[in-house]
Amino acid sequence: MTVQLIDGNALAAQIRAEVAGRTAALKARGIQPHLAIILVGDNPASQVYVKSKAADSEQTGLKATLERYPASLPESALLERIAALNADAGVHGILVQLPLPAHLNASRVIEAIAPEKDVDGFHIASAGALMTGQPGFRPCTPYGCMKMLQSIGMNDLRGKNAVVIGRSNIVGKPMALMLLAANATVTVCHSGTASLAAFTRQADVIVAAAGQRKVLTAGMVKPGAVVIDVGMNRDENGKLCGDVDFEGVRQVAGWITPVPGGVGPMTRAMLLVNTIEAAERASQSASR
Ligand SMILES: Nc1nc2c(c(=O)[nH]1)N[C@@H](CN(C=O)c1ccc(C(=O)N[C@@H](CCC(=O)O)C(=O)O)cc1)CN2
């Protein structure tokens, strides 16, 4: 079987071009879409991610303001800053880069963001909207995975078995809900699952989001299955790799996403989509 690659870089470039068009349309009406990015501390990976988010934004015409704070920032100061950004009509999206330093309560911080500016889709209101099929911001990583499936013609997953490996609030759980909304029969596997392979072997779509290298190997995959790798790990040589044993699984799968160049760029692209959406919604409510 010849595996096909789902190229996240190429798809993300298409999405950025669409966002650039929507941004230009808003700018023509005198509205500058604006994303505020907050980074607390000096986590090296987070520093790279926020820089690329700001660069992607600028590339599509969105204004991005990157605010960096020391790891010692008190929670009260962070909450005050978020309140000020919530009140600023010129800011359409707010994101706080995760993980936060241990003394900061991530849930409290996320809940402080106004739901209409929650472009990460992490607020409880966004989670509730996803669960009930209401309009709201979708978390960028699973949203990007769904776009990847759609790009290969998998819009309706009726009759398909999907397995999500991982149950985090920002990937696994929303991923399962999005697959369910696309009519898949969904199983969520996790560290407490007794026989992971027994589930993955039945799956037409597998999303690996366990944060563990080689959690999915060739013998665990049904021939022709679609494999989406959300993992972001380092191998023994420090090389970036996903959760999937790429070289093994590519021999069996029908479609597979690479790491790097797969889900990562799509996560960033969907942030831009949510941000332009937030700015468009704000402009519509302002003109009502
Ligand atoms: N506030 C948020 N925090 C975090 C999120 C998030 O969506 N919102 N997700 C992850 C990290 N993340 C985005 O912030 C992210 C990680 C990786 C990539 C990416 O483009 N990866 C590249 C490789 C980059 C490299 O070389 O290191 C790729 O896969 O090709 C984008 C976004 C946790 N925190």
pLDDT at position 287 over 90: no
Q: Ligand 1: does its nearest atom lie under 6 Å from the Cβ of 131? A: no
Residue 213 CB partners (closer than 8 Å, separation 6+): 231, 233, 235, 241, 242, 243
Q: What is the mean pLDDT of residues 138-167?
A: 98
Strand 4-5 and strand 255-256: the pairing is parallel
Ligand 1 atom at minimal distance to the Cα of residue 263: 29
pLDDT confidence of residue 285: 87
Tell me the CA–centroid distance for residue 100 and ligand 1, in Å: 14
Q: Ligand 1: does its nearest atom lie under 6 Å from the Cβ of 264? A: yes
pLDDT at position 27 over 90: yes
88 is catalytic: no
Is 191 flagged in the annotation as binding?
no
pLDDT confidence of residue 268: 98
120 is catalytic: yes
Q: What is the mean pLDDT of residues 193-217?
A: 98
Q: What is the mean pLDDT of residues 94-118?
A: 98
pLDDT confidence of residue 169: 97
Ligand 1 atom at minimal distance to the Cα of residue 45: 27
pLDDT confidence of residue 249: 98
Is 166 flagged in the annotation as binding?
yes
**Which of 46, 47, 51, 98 maximizes ligand 1 atoms within 8 Å of its Cβ, making it the mutation to test the pocket?**
98
Ligand 1 atom at minimal distance to the Cα of residue 96: 1
Tell me the CA–centroid distance for residue 54 and ligand 1, in Å: 12
Q: Which long-range contacts (CB under 8 A, 24 or more apart) does 20-26 make?
A: 20/59, 20/60, 20/61, 22/276, 22/280, 23/60, 23/61, 23/62, 23/276, 23/279, 24/61, 26/276, 26/279, 26/280, 26/283
pLDDT at position 1 over 80: no
53 is catalytic: yes
Is 168 flagged in the annotation as binding?
yes
Tell me the CA–centroid distance for residue 264 and ligand 1, in Å: 5
For ligand 1, atom 22, which residue shows the shortest CA distance?
Answer: 264
For ligand 1, atom 14, which residue shows the shortest CA distance?
Answer: 49
Establish whether this prediction's ipTM goes over 0.95: yes
pLDDT confidence of residue 250: 98
Domains of the chain: 32-114 (3.40.50.10860), 140-264 (3.40.50.720)
Q: Write down the catalytic residue from 63, 117, 118, 120.
A: 120
